[in-house]
Amino acid sequence: MIKHFNIRVYALIINERMEVLLADEIFRDTRMTKFPGGGMQFGEGTLDCLRREASEEFGQELRITGHFYTTDFFQKSIFHDDHQLISIYYLAAFTGPLSFRVSTQVFDFTGDGDQQSFRWKSVSLLTPDDLTLPIDKKVAAMLQDHFNL
């Protein structure tokens, strides 16, 4: 039985080569590829959440350029049986040159526990199968429609 909402906020960061930034992660022993972002905390607005997540994940600021999509269907959390997931996606850009490592390899990290790496993927080559989470899969298809690819 669903008793809680879990609100997630994500950045769709598209560079000048029409590539979108993807995050490869191990979280709670689950490997996933997703868009950068994370969970909104109590007392936080969606844009504040995205800015905080950017600071935590990249160590740099984002400029949010517009709203892209908010979940419009029921989605149960894969990590919590009693949570309904609501995801909000914004188009965004970095305010300065990248100050973090971007890999060309999928899951480019070693070691144990929760980990994360980032890589660019051409929007024209992006497919729903490139992403792990159900809502991200929908957004991947929407990105191609948005950019008429």
Tokens encoding 7: 């609100």
Distance from C-alpha of 35 to C-alpha of 88, rounded to nearest angstrom = 11
What CATH number is associated with residue 141? 3.90.79.10
pLDDT digits (tens, 9 = 90+) for 8-30: 999 999 999 999 999 999 877 88
Write down the pLDDT at residue 63.
Answer: 95
The percentage of residues in the chain with a pLDDT greater than 70, rounded to a whole number, is: 97
Its domain, for residue 48, covers 4-96+115-146
Q: How confident is the model at residue 74 (pLDDT cuts 50, 70, 90)?
A: confident
Is residue 13 within 8 Å of residue 37, measured between CB atoms? no
> 113 pLDDT band (50/70/90 cuts)?
low
Total number of domains in the chain: 1
**Residue 110 located in a structural domain:** no
Tell whether 108 is covered by a domain: no
Asked if residue 21 is part of any domain, the answer here is yes
Whether 101 maps to a domain, the answer reads no
